[in-house]
Each structure stands twice: as C-alpha cells, then as structure tokens.
C-alpha cells in the first residue's frame, strides 16, 4: 500500500454516506452546494487504499449535442482531486491549478469513474493526477494542485 494511503481519512462533519441505491456505501460532501447541484458526485476508498469517484450521467449533465458537457467533466475532475487527496488532506483547501485533456464523449446513462494518485504532498501544496473513464473508454486525463488553507486564528475579545 502506498505510504500516503495507510492512514484512514480524517473525520469530516460534512461527509455523507449513501445508505441505498446505486451508490450505497459511497461518500459525498454536502458542504459544497455547487457540487451537490451539478452532481451528485460520489467517492469510495478501495480495498487497496486508492480512491474511486463516480457519477451516473443524467440529462442535466448534457450539452446541446447530447454529450456530457465539458464543464461537467471538469467539475467532476475537480471533485475527484479532493477525493483522491482524502488521505493527506486534513483541513480546508482550494484548487490552485487544473489542467485536462478531453479525449472522448459520454452520453446519458453512462457510469463515469475517476481514479488517480497524489504525486506529491508538501507542507501547503498537494499535486495530483487522474483519469476519467466510462467502462474501458478513457474520457479525460487531468492534473491539479490543491493548496491547504491555513486556519485563521480566532479573534480575541478585548480584555
């Protein structure tokens, strides 16, 4: 098992685990209203410690040509960056860099999945890369950088 995947993910109060349906046992974050609106996107930790994220393509994910909208691909890949980083991310963070290559189109009803890896996790920056698939078809490759946010000190009342 990779060194970065040995420890369990930190406890997050905004983590929701599905209790029924296709994604029973999968996790999602409920704090991000944009992702909740665009998704739902899901992730789970695999037996080998790797992370897999997924969503089922609905009509709302499609562009005018009937393919998954590129913005949906990118939003899901960004969600996947944070899922992939779950073992090394212990506080809030933001995406500072994102790059992708569109390789194939997906259509309504398809299951889209992402896997990836942490390339490097430093003090404030986490570098990642991943791929998006539908079955055996490679749809998108991506890489990104996440910056850990420093916790702001609580203001002290005047003494």
Spell out the domain ranges in the chain.
15-148
Is residue 24's pLDDT more than 50? yes
Alpha-helical regions (H) of the chain: 33-38, 70-84
pLDDT of residue 4: 37
Average pLDDT over residues 33-62: 90
What backbone phi and psi angles, to 5 degrees, belong to 77?
-65, -40
Entry pTM: 0.83
Q: What is the pLDDT of residues 122-156, one digit of tens each?
A: 889 999 999 999 999 999 999 999 999 877 666 77
Rounded to whole angstroms, how far apart are CA atoms 2 and 58? 34
**Superfamily the domain 15-148 falls into:** Hotdog Thioesterase (3.10.129.10)
What are the tokens at 38? 């665009």
């Amino acid at each position: 098992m990779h060194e970065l995947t040995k420890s369990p993910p930190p406890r997050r109060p905004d983590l929701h685990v599905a209790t029924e349906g296709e994604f029973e046992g999968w996790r999602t974050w409920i704090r991000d209203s944009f992702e909740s609106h665009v998704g739902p996107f899901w992730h789970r930790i695999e037996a080998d410690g790797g992370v897999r994220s997924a969503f089922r393509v609905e009509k709302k994910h499609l562009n005018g040509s009937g393919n998954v909208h590129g913005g949906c691909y990118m939003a899901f890949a960004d969600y996947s960056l944070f899922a992939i980083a779950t073992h090394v991310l212990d506080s809030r963070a933001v995406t500072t860099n994102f790059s992708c290559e569109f390789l194939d189109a997906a259509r309504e009803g398809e299951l889209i999945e992402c896997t990836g890896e942490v390339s490097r996790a430093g003090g404030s920056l986490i570098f990642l890369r991943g791929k998006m698939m539908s079955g055996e078809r490679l749809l998108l490759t991506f890489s990104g950088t996440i910056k850990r946010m420093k916790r702001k000190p609580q203001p002290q009342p005047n003494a």
